[in-house]
Amino acid sequence: MIHALGPGLLIYEIQQTSDITYRVYDWGRPQTETRKLHIDKALAVSNPDATASILSAPQMNDGEVKTLTQCQYFKLENNLS
């Protein structure tokens, strides 16, 4: 999924382990030999129909634990203590 991050966000990027990052934009920095853009490769493997879950921070009391999301492989909890 092509994505970008910005100020004021708390992101949990859950993914399979990979040594590949395709850079399609680098915030105005020039492309260099060690920091290349990979536009064609990124487009070839991106899924334009992919979606992401946007969760709002839950209102919690001190010491309360809330499950934000879970599946058979992991559970993401928010713990206010």
> Looking at the annotation, which residues are catalytic?
23
Specify the DSSP class assigned to residue 24.
Answer: S
- Using a 10 angstrom Cβ sphere, with 0-12 exposed, 13-18 middle and 19 or more buried, the burial of residue 66 is middle
Rounded distance between C-alpha atoms, residue 24 and residue 37, angstroms: 5
